[in-house]
Amino acid sequence: MNQSEGMRINKFLSAAGVCSRREADRLIAAGKVTVAGETAELGTLVSAGMEVKVNGRRVGAVEELASKKKVLLAVNKPVGVVCTTTDNDRAPNIVELIDYPERVYPIGRLDKDSEGLLLLTNQGELVNQILRCENGHEKEYIVRVDKALTPAFLEKLRRGVHLEELQVTTLPCKAEARDKTSFSIILKQGLNRQIRRMCEACGYHVISLKRIRIMNISLRNLHSGAFRNVTAAEQKTLLSLLEEKPKAFTGRSAKTARTEARRKKNYAARQKAYFQRRERDGGAWKREK
């Protein structure tokens, strides 16, 4: 197979609306993808006329991508439904649940125990744009916990919570009480099960968690398990937001940034001392560990 030109197989599967590039890499590594009848490898290129199949099902060819209808859906994911076909427990999958006539897949994830807004699309480049810009753009949730809220708890969420198992401190966020045991929270971060981890670190247990907004797209009055087409106006605003660089966002807490800067400075000093000693001693010694 000529590898000198064409589209990378993971990019092709993403553009064709099969899955994200990351998910495509997993399918390829598992030997579930073929290109022109041959098992694909990471980095395989797809050229015009080559037929691509996933799990024996035809996906299409490069020349068919230009005529593909672009789809962007807002879905109200129910609790108990997963966002990926690779989950071992084989719980109901969001793509199977909505049974959309075009092949679509989720942009990001919402864990099995959570519900609410999830975006599905067949536009691979849009997925990549949103995931690359995920940190720095707002996502809003409604959370209910197992005991009464306190001002100290909400303030701790706002200031940032240290998550020991991830060795990271969450970024400042907005959190406001709704009633005695529920609150709204707006994050600009996408750590795995972040809100649940934040609450647990503060001595609370999450009873329910619902995402109601991603950037400018809101859940509205969608019933659980239902979906709607994202409007042209919403898509225009979304693309405009994606083109903006989030202000003053580093993806790290200020403390983490200072620590990393100090480590880099110390490393540079050690490197300089190492080469100075090596030059002085004629290179007749090995670097100290």
Please tell me which residue in 87, 111, 146, 179 is annotated as part of the active site.
Answer: 111
CA separation for the pair 123, 142 (Å, rounded): 28
Residue for token digits 């480049």?
Answer: 125
What is the per-residue DSSP string for 203-215? T--EEEEEEEEET
CA separation for the pair 96, 151 (Å, rounded): 42
Q: Please report, for residues 41, 157, 230, 237, the alpha-carbon distance to residue 217 in angstroms, rounded to integers and kept in the order given.
A: 37, 24, 8, 9
CA separation for the pair 193, 166 (Å, rounded): 11
Asked whether the beta carbons of 65 and 16 are under 8 A apart, the reply is yes
Beta bridge partners of 54: 33, 57
Asked whether the beta carbons of 144 and 207 are under 8 A apart, the reply is yes
Asked whether the beta carbons of 196 and 213 are under 8 A apart, the reply is no
Q: What is the C-alpha radius of gyration for the chain, rounded to an integer number of angstroms?
A: 23
**Does residue 111 have an active-site annotation?**
yes
How many CA atoms lie less than 13 Å away from 148 in the CB half-sphere?
3
Catalytic residues: 111
